[in-house]
Structure 1
Amino acid sequence: MNIRKIRKNNIEIAVVDSEDTLITDPSTALDFFATIQYDSGCDRFVLKQSQLDSDFFDLKTGLAGNVLQKIVNYRMKLAIIGDFSIYASKSLSDFIYEMNSGRDVFFLNSEEEAINRLANS
């Protein structure tokens, strides 16, 4: 795993580069975000869709809700980048829409979009 720090609008954002699944349950998520925050000094993160366990995108498992609640509770911000059109779930599509309307968690198509959104939220 590699962490790149990008500075935009005087805000530092940690971009996590890894081919591995990094978040598989709420406790590993909290440990992961705390470690990244400590190592990078950032409280805004960019992750790839592939770095999240596939259960994250099945809302019935509760993984997404639990993980994202930790982001909000610990006053962090997260952008997840990928192609979310591959999921046929209307509830997931609605969930993504609601998250993108907020200020803490975003589901976006590219790293550039993620950096821009995190730097302006």
Structure 2
Amino acid sequence: MNTLRTIHDVPVFLCAAEGEPIAGEREALDLIGDASYQGARWVVVPAERLDETFFRLSTRVAGDIVGKFANYRLGLVILGDISRHTADSSALRDFVRECNRGRQTWFVADAGELEERLRG
């Protein structure tokens, strides 16, 4: 079940680990709608909820999803271990590194790292 939680005074929409895979813009828009309705500023998606195509940049799925969140001015956090994906792709490693430098999309390993980022 998706829940809204406040972390360091920031409303964060936490997606459940189980559920329909997030495979494209349609699922992203559903999340954006739910999160916006509840007043969230960030949406946290467990890495295991993302369809495998998200991690293959050539499919443009990651760019489409990240772009939707940016258009609606909602932050996106991918939570969990994605090392098996980044080990196979220098482009994905670069994408993750660039995202983590900004204030729109973050890839974090665990809840502690998310809390630290939101504190900053």
Structures share fold, TM-score greater than 0.5? yes
Q: In structure 1, what is the equivalent of residue 57 of structure 2? A: 59
Quick check: 1:112 aligned with 2:112? Answer: yes
Residue pair 2:15, 2:44 contacting (<8 A) in 1 also: yes
Residue pair 1:13, 1:118 contacting (<8 A) in 2 also: no
Identity fraction in percent: 31
Quick check: 1:34 aligned with 2:33? Answer: yes
SS state of the match for residue 17, structure 1? coil
Deviation at 1:72, TM superposition (A): 0.9
Q: In structure 2, what is the equivalent of residue 98 of structure 1? A: 98
Residue pair 1:82, 1:108 contacting (<8 A) in 2 also: yes
SS state of the match for residue 56, structure 1? helix
The letter of the residue matching 1:6 is R
Aligned residues: 118
Cα deviation 1:97-120 (Å, max 9, x = unaligned):
000011110001002212332454
SS state of the match for residue 68, structure 1? helix
1:74 is matched with which residue: 67, 72, 75?
72
The letter of the residue matching 2:117 is R
- TM-score, L = length of structure 2: 0.88
* Alpha-carbon distance change, 20 to 59 in structure 1, aligned in 2, over 3 angstroms: same
Instruction: Provide the aligned C-alpha RMSD in A.
Output: 1.5
Deviation at 1:42, TM superposition (A): 0.8
State how far apart, in whole Å, the 1-side matches of 2:118 and 2:36 are. Answer: 15
Structure 1 gaps of 5+ residues are none
Residue pair 1:12, 1:42 contacting (<8 A) in 2 also: yes
* Alpha-carbon distance change, 42 to 15 in structure 1, aligned in 2, over 3 angstroms: same
Quick check: 1:45 aligned with 2:43? Answer: yes
Residue pair 2:20, 2:49 contacting (<8 A) in 1 also: yes
Deviation at 1:32, TM superposition (A): 2.3
* Alpha-carbon distance change, 21 to 57 in structure 1, aligned in 2, over 3 angstroms: farther
Tell me which moved more, 17-26 or 44-53.
17-26
Structure 2 gaps of 5+ residues are none
State how far apart, in whole Å, the 1-side matches of 2:64 and 2:97 are. Answer: 18
